[in-house]
Structure 1
Amino acid sequence: MDLQEAMKKQNDVALLLAGKVIPVVAKNSNFVFSPASINVVLTMAAATSEDERVRSLILSFLRSSSTEELNAIFRQIASVVLVDGSKRGGPKIAAANGVWMEQSLPDDPSMKDLFENFFKASFAQVDFESKAEEVRKEVNAWALRHTNGLIKDLLPQGSVTDLTTKIYGNALYFKGAWKNKFDKSMTEHKPFYLLRGNSVSVPFMRSYKDQYIKAYDGFMVLRLPYRQGSDDTNRNFSMYLYLPDKKSEFDNLLERMTSTPRFLDSHIPREKVEVGEFRIPKFKIEFGFEASRFFNDLELNVSLYQKALIEIDEEGTEAAAATALVFSGCKAPVVKRVDFVADHPFIFLIREDKTGTVLFAGQIFNPSKSSSA
C-alpha cells in the first residue's frame, strides 16, 4: 500500500465533501467544516462495524480500498498531524475520539480494545433505551470540553432516541500563530464586495511583507504559514485563500476545486513575491449541519452531525470542530510585485502541508456576519 497516495485520495475526498455540502446547506453564505473530523468518525465506523454493508459503503464513499488503508491513514494523521506542538512554539492541537454503545448489545472485548488502544477513544456502554436524553447531553458536554468550550450543542434535541444503538464522536481544536503576525495598527475598515453587488465595511489586516502568492488561470492563491515548533521538521501548517479574479467566477472556482483530482497539491505557492496592495479580512464564523442526507452514496441509517467554528485575526487562527455519527434503527511563475486584495467572496482552508491533510475548509461571503446555520 502506498500510504502517501492513499492520503492524497483522502484530500480529494475532503473537497468532494465540500462539493456535496456547500450547494445544499451553504449556498452563497459563510461556511466552515472539518473534513478531517468527518473522516475520523467514518474510519472508526468502518473499522469496528460488524455490518459488511456499512464497511463497504464507507470504503466506497472515502474511495479507499480497505479498512486497513483507512487505519493506516488514521495512524499517520494521529501520530504526525494531530500532535500538540504548543510546548515547542508551534500550533496548539487537541483531538479526541469517543464512542457510546448501547449496553444491551453483545459485549465484544476486541472491539473495545480497538477503540481504546488504536483510536484512543473513550468508550462508554450507555442506556439509550431509557436515558437517551442524558446520553445526548453527555456527548454535547464531551464535545464542549474537548474543543476548548467553542462547540456547543453538537447534537440537537431529538437526535438521540431509544432506537439509537451507538454514537461515534470526534472533537478537534486548533490554535496557531502566524509565522509573520500582522501589525494591528495597520488594520482598517474597507469595503468587502458581496455577490449581489453591494458591499459591507469590514476590518482588513494589511502587510507590506513579501507573501506566498501565485496567480493561476482565473484565480489567485495565497499561502499564510503558521509558526512552527522549534524542532518540528515533520510537518508545517498553512492557511490557503483561493480568490477568484472576478466575483462572478466564484461558483466556477468551487466546481474546479471539487471536481479536479489533486487540485490542492497542484496549486501551492512555493515562493514569496513582493506585494503591492495586500489585505485580507478578519472574520469569525461558525456553522452546524446534519450531513448524512447529502451523502447519498452511503445510504446508511445514520445521522452525521457537525459543528465548526473559526476565527482569524492579526495574531493567528483559532478553530474547532466536533462530529457525531449516530446509528439508529430497529434493534437488531513568480511575479515580482502583485496585489492580493480579498475584498470579495473567497474559499479558504487550513491544511498540514507535508501530508496535505485538510483540517478545516470553508468559504467567506460576508466577513461582517459572525455565524450561519
Structure 2
Amino acid sequence: MRKANPSNRKDGRNKGWSQRKTGMFSTGAFFKILPLCSLLAVVAVTGCSNGTSKTESHYTSAYTAEDANPELAAATNRFALDLYAKLEEEPGEADPGPNRMISPAGIGIALSMLKGGAEGETERQMDAMLHLNGMSPEVLADSQMILRDLLRGSDPAVKMDIANSLWSSQGFEMDKDYVEQMEKSYGAQVQAIDFSSEQAADILNKWASDNTAGKIPKVIDPPLSPDLVLLLMNAMYFKGDWSEPFEKGQTEDLPFYPEIGGEVTVPTMRQSGEYAYLDGDGFEAVRLPYGETKNFGMILALPDENSSLDDFKQQQLPKFNEWSQNLSDNEGSIELPRFKLKDKFSLKATLSALGMTDAFDDEKAELGGLVAGGAKPGSIFISFVTHDTFIEVNEEGTEAAAVTVIGAETTSAPAPREPFDLKLNRPFFFAITDRTTGAIVFMGEVGNPAEE
C-alpha cells in the first residue's frame, strides 16, 4: 500500500479534480499506465517523422473516418491489452524497473507485415494472437494503409507518421507479390543489404534515428548473425503540443510517493480547467488533448488510495475500451509530473506466450510467403523481435517514439563434407536394423561375395 498524503485525500466521489492529487500516483502506476492508455485511446498515439512544426505543410488524408476498418481498430486494442498484461509474466527485460512504455500499434504493424508472408499454422497462430478473426492479408494490408493515412492527416498541429522498411540480405530473393504489397499498403522501403558488413548495423541504426527525430539512435548491435536474411522494421514518432499547455511558472517541486519506499521530489506541472473526466470504480481518469482538433489525447488513470495499480490492471485495464468512452466534461484541476524515459524489450518470449510459437521454431515456422518460389517449413524462421521506445512529457506537450525490429534467419546449412570414396573390396560387415524399435533384424558379414 502506498504512503498516503493526508492533505490530498479524496473527500467525495463527485467533486472532480479540484483538490490536489499529489501523492496518489505510484511511480509504477503513473509511468506504466499512462503511455498504454495514451496509445490505445487513438489506436496509435505515436508515429514517425523528423520533427514537427506548425508552419510546415501538413499532410491531408485522402480518406475519412468512415473509411477506417473498425475491426482492425478493435483488434489492435485487444492485442494491445493482451500484450501489456502478458508483459507482467514475460517482461522482455532482464531487470524490469518501475516504469514501462510500449507502442502496441507499432508492434502490431510490424507483425501485420510479417503475417503477410506467413502460411499454415504459423499464420493461424498470428491471426489468433492479433484478434484478426480470419481477416485476409489483402484486407489487413488495405486497412493498415487507410489507418496510416488517417493518422498522418488527423491534426494539422500534431506531427505523426509511420515508417516501415524491409532489409534483405544480398542474394536472398523475396516474393515479388509480397514486396509489392508491402510497398503499396505499408509504404515500406525495400532494400538489399550485406548483413555481414561492418557498416550494416550503422545503416540500420541510422534509419531508426532518421525516422524518430534522433530519439532512438540505436536498435541493432553488431555483429549481426551470419544466418540473417531479412529484417522488418517499423518506426513510430509523435510530437504534439497540448491543446492547453501547462504554464511553466506553475511547475514546482512536489512529493511523489512510489509504492515501495518513501517519497521523492519531482518537478510537477499544474493546471485547472474543463476536462474529459471519469470517476470510475476504484480509479479516476482524465484525458488531456493535443493539437487543434483534439483528436489525439493522453488518458491518465489513477487508482484510488485504497486500491493499487495491480488491482487496476487486473480489474479495469481489460475494460479499457468500455470505460475510456465514458469520460465526460467536468471542471477540475490536475497535477502531472514531468518525465522522460527510454525502454528496450525483447519480445520473443512474450509473443510466444501469447500463442505465436511456430514462427520462432526453426522446424515448424511457415514463412514461405516471404520467399520467391516459397520455402519449406523451418527453412526460414523468426529469431528475434525487439522494441525500443522513448517518451518525454513536459509543459508544452509530448514527444514519443518507438522502433520495432523483426529478424528472420535461414536454418543454418550443415558444413560441406569432403567427398568420400568407399570401396567395399575387402571382407565387410552388414546389418539390417529397424529404426522404429532400434532392433537389429539381420546382421552378418561378407568374406567372399563370389561364394553363396
Q: TM-score range by the shorter chain?
A: 0.7 to 0.9
Partner secondary structure for residue 87 of structure 2: helix
- Aligned AA for 1:80? L
Mark the CA change 1:207 to 1:194 in structure 2 (over 3 Å): closer, same or farther.
Answer: same
Find the counterpart in structure 2 of residue 304 from structure 1.
Answer: 385
Contact 1:213/1:223, CA 8 A, preserved across alignment: yes
Distance 1:331 1:82 in 2: 41
Range moving further from structure 2, 170-179 or 296-305: 296-305
Q: Tell me the alpha carbon deviations over residues 274-330 of structure 1, each in whole angstroms, 9 at most, x when there is no partner.
A: 21x531111111101111111221112221111111111111111111110111241
Find the counterpart in structure 2 of residue 102 from structure 1.
Answer: 169
Contact 1:221/1:268, CA 8 A, preserved across alignment: no
Mark the CA change 1:325 to 1:269 in structure 2 (over 3 Å): closer, same or farther.
Answer: same
Find the counterpart in structure 1 of residue 257 from structure 2.
Answer: 193
Distance 2:114 2:106 in 1: 13
- Aligned AA for 2:300? L
Number of positions where the alignment pairs a residue of Structure 1 with one of Structure 2: 317
The structure with higher relative contact order (CA 8 Å, sep 6+) is 1
Shift of 1:246: 2.4
Distance 1:151 1:61 in 2: 27
Partner secondary structure for residue 154 of structure 1: coil
Aligned partner of 2:338 among 260, 282, 291: 282
Contact 1:218/1:244, CA 8 A, preserved across alignment: yes
Shift of 1:70: 2.5
Contact 2:253/2:266, CA 8 A, preserved across alignment: yes
Aligned partner of 1:78 among 141, 148, 160: 148
> Could you tell me the TM-score, scaled by structure 1's length?
0.79
Partner secondary structure for residue 272 of structure 2: coil
Contact 2:90/2:349, CA 8 A, preserved across alignment: no
Find the counterpart in structure 2 of residue 294 from structure 1.
Answer: 350
Find the counterpart in structure 2 of residue 34 from structure 1.
Answer: 103
Identity %: 28
Find the counterpart in structure 2 of residue 211 from structure 1.
Answer: 275
Pairwise CA RMSD: 2.3
Distance 2:408 2:151 in 1: 28
Q: Tell me the alpha carbon deviations over residues 157-182 of structure 1, each in whole angstroms, 9 at most, x when there is no partner.
A: 45x31111211001111001111111
Range moving further from structure 2, 4-13 or 182-191: 4-13
Shift of 1:244: 0.3
Find the counterpart in structure 2 of residue 120 from structure 1.
Answer: 187
Shift of 1:119: 1.4
Contact 2:152/2:159, CA 8 A, preserved across alignment: no
Q: Tell me the alpha carbon deviations over residues 68-126 of structure 1, each in whole angstroms, 9 at most, x when there is no partner.
A: 443243123112123474xx3x2111221000112323353322222222211110122
Distance 1:21 1:35 in 2: 12
Find the counterpart in structure 2 of residue 11 from structure 1.
Answer: 77
1:241 aligns with 2:297: no
- Aligned AA for 2:146? Q
Partner secondary structure for residue 304 of structure 1: strand
Shift of 1:12: 1.4
Aligned partner of 1:323 among 373, 385, 404: 404
The 5-angstrom pairing of residues 168-183 of structure 1 reads: 168-183=232-247
Distance 2:316 2:139 in 1: 25
Structure 2 unaligned spans of 5+:
1-66, 361-381, 414-452
More strand by share: 1
Aligned partner of 2:112 among 43, 55, 69: 43
Distance 1:105 1:99 in 2: 12
Contact 1:308/1:319, CA 8 A, preserved across alignment: yes
Shift of 1:331: 5.4
1:264 aligns with 2:321: yes
> Could you tell me the TM-score, scaled by structure 2's length?
0.65
Find the counterpart in structure 2 of residue 149 from structure 1.
Answer: 214
Distance 1:28 1:216 in 2: 28
Partner secondary structure for residue 217 of structure 1: coil
4+ long deviations beyond 6 Å: none
1:139 aligns with 2:204: yes
Structure 1 unaligned spans of 5+:
230-234, 333-373
Partner secondary structure for residue 9 of structure 1: helix
Distance 1:135 1:256 in 2: 46
Distance 1:268 1:188 in 2: 32
Structure with max Cα Rg: 2
- Aligned AA for 1:101? S
Shift of 1:254: 1.3
Shift of 1:258: 4.6
Mark the CA change 1:173 to 1:113 in structure 2 (over 3 Å): closer, same or farther.
Answer: same
Find the counterpart in structure 1 of residue 124 from structure 2.
Answer: 56
